[in-house]
Amino acid sequence: MPEAIVVMGVSGCGKSTVGAQLAAAIPGAIFMDADDLHPAANKARMASGVPLTDDDREPWLRACATWLAAEIAGGAQAGGRPAVLACSALRRRYRDVLRAGAPDLRFVHLHADADLLARRLDGRRGHFMPATLLASQLQTLEGLQPDEAGFTVDIDAEPQQVIRRVLAGLSAGQPVAGDEPAFRGGGQRLL
């Protein structure tokens, strides 16, 4: 297992659901939902239907990076348990911030087409993020690039099946350079 795993993707792709269940499936793993690290102003902005800017995301990404670095240090002392962070990490440069203090960081991109994502968001209740922001999330998304450690998993299955796909990818060792044009050069895609 890598020291840290970031479960990434647009709103509604299942980061919170899959991330929490993935951490539960890995002995000792610690889970954090990056939604809980957003400044209140960011949540208010998204709740009112306004997408975040790079400036809005900056303090949040720094908080995520700080959490990852602290948990990696704690994990090393605790015998190597991984830290699992559910975080949209939509752009390459956002992922660079997360990687800065976490060299052994693996990204798992949860992917689906826009229709499935919209259905998932329609079915979700009691969340601050409105489904109307999905379009801007998809516009902002930059898939994993070939030199980024990680892989992409389709989410068109029940959570346990998605987690099996993720675990298979994690145990496959070092990522393979991407060959999936739909992901703009993104990481290895597992079915």
Ligand X SMILES: O=C(O)[C@H](O)[C@@H](O)[C@H](O)[C@H](O)COP(=O)(O)O
Closest CA to 184 of 131, 135, 148, 156: 148
Is 35 a binding residue for ligand X by CB under 6 A? The answer is yes
Question: Are residues 108 and 1 in contact, defined by beta-carbon separation less than 8 angstroms?
Answer: no
HSE value, Cβ hemisphere, 13 Å, CA-based, for 65: 18
Residue 1 or 148 with smaller CB distance to ligand X: 148
**16 touches ligand X (CB under 6 A):** yes
Interaction of residue 59 with ligand ADP, rule CB under 6 A: no
Site string for ligand X, 147-176 (x = CB under 6 A): ------------------------------
State the number of CA atoms in the 13 A half-sphere of 71 facing the CB. Answer: 25
88 binds ligand X (CB under 6 A): yes
Name the nearest CA neighbour of 96 among 68, 127, 76, 130: 68
Q: Applying CB under 6 A, which residues contact ligand X? A: 11-12, 15-16, 35, 38, 46, 52, 57, 88, 90, 129, 137
Q: Applying CB under 6 A, which residues contact ligand ADP? A: 11-17, 86, 120, 123-124, 155, 158-159, 162
